Amino acid sequence: MTPHDTSGSPSDEFTGGPAGGRWSDLDRPPLNAAALRRALIRPGGLWTSLDVVEATGSTNSDLAARAAELGEGAVLVAEEQTSGRGRLDRSWTAPPRSGLFLSVLLKPDVPVDRWGWLPLLTGVAAATGLARAAGADFALKWPNDLMVKVAGEERKAGGILAERVGGDGVVIGIGINVTLRADELPVPRAGSLALANAVSTDRDPLLRALLRSLEDWYGIWRAANGDAHASRLQETYAAGCSTLGLTVRAELPGDRSLIGEAVAIDGDGRLVVTTPDGKDHPIGAGDIVHLRPNGR
């Protein structure tokens, strides 16, 4: 979800290779960078550049390193990430061309204290755009996970990582498992669009739908000066958030934790957890575990 070493140069065409090579999986065709640029980059639009690299460490790291020279709306996509990062420095790995691994550079002209909504906005945009294009239902697990149903069980199929760069920029990394098979899952509770029986797993239209949805939501939020209530971002996120209404364990900084019911998303994008003593605890950072009815 996030690039590093750019030794894989941007490529518009798949040049093939020997049978059995790393790019010979016909079930996982390469992205068409030229067609994606034609579809997404237009005068007055948000997206200003789009590059696809065959492999890199982390798209977030690559884009962050070039943020000073790039304008808002730069998009970097990797066919494979070798050092993808999630929240809390967790790793994110997947077979080549089995998902969407990208980062975008945004430079929001809204108050900085509202930038914390950007990962949640990206989650809403990804869930709505991909649901239309893939024909699969998504849920949002606070703060940055995209969930799908696999055999009736909610599983993580994607994640988001936002990182501040310089004084005026944010790099947002997005990773989505698209065609990952059961024997390729990094952990048993992971999922993918294919395992969720999505109608389409064609990555080109999925990527176009994701980026168009992100452009729309970002434009609405920015037009409201970053106000999550006025832009309806707060209510839309809450409506799609599977964390709300559940008993959760919040693992907090400083090796602290609390258990309670997730009751709301507040105006700052924090998860409000009500503990058994009736106290509300707004949580801005931490790991949230959805608990089973027996609390485990």
CATH code where residue 190 lies:
3.30.930.10
Indicate if 190 and 164 belong to the same structural domain. yes
Has residue 267 got a pLDDT over 90?
yes
Do residues 218 and 233 both lie within one domain?
A: yes
What is the average per-residue pLDDT within 62-91?
Answer: 84
Domain range spanning residue 70? 33-238
Domain match, 49 and 177 both: yes
Give yes or no: residues 206 and 65 share one domain: yes
Report if residue 26 sits inside a domain.
no
Distance CA 31, CA 97 (A): 8
Looking at the predicted structure, is the pLDDT value of residue 238 above 50? Answer: yes
Specify whether 104 is located in the same domain as 232. yes
Indicate if 162 and 114 belong to the same structural domain.
yes
Identify the CA nearest to 65 among candidates 6, 148, 141, 122. Answer: 6
Q: What percent of the chain has pLDDT over 90?
A: 81
Total count of domains within the chain: 2
- 234 with 253, same domain: the answer is no
User: CATH code at 249?
Assistant: 2.30.30.100
Give the C-alpha separation, 109 to 100, whole Å. Answer: 28
Three-state DSSP class for residue 21? coil
184 plus 108 within the same structural domain:
yes
Q: Are residues 145 and 41 in the same domain?
A: yes
Same domain, 208 and 268: no
pLDDT at residue 140, as a whole number:
98
pLDDT at 286: 87
Show the tokens assigned to 271: 């998860």
pTM for this prediction: 0.89
**Mean pLDDT across the stretch 179-204?**
96
Q: How confident is the model at residue 94 (pLDDT cuts 50, 70, 90)?
A: confident
Residue 272 sits at the vertex; the CA angle it makes with 269 and 277, to the nearest 5 degrees, is 165
pLDDT of 2 higher than 70: no
pLDDT class of 86 with cuts at 50, 70, 90: low
Question: ∠ CA 81-86-90 to the nearest 5 degrees?
Answer: 95
Strand partners, 290: 248
Q: b/e string for 131-157 if b means 16 or more Cβ within 10 A?
A: bebbebebbbbbbbbbbbbbeeebbbb
Q: Is the pLDDT of residue 17 over 80?
A: no
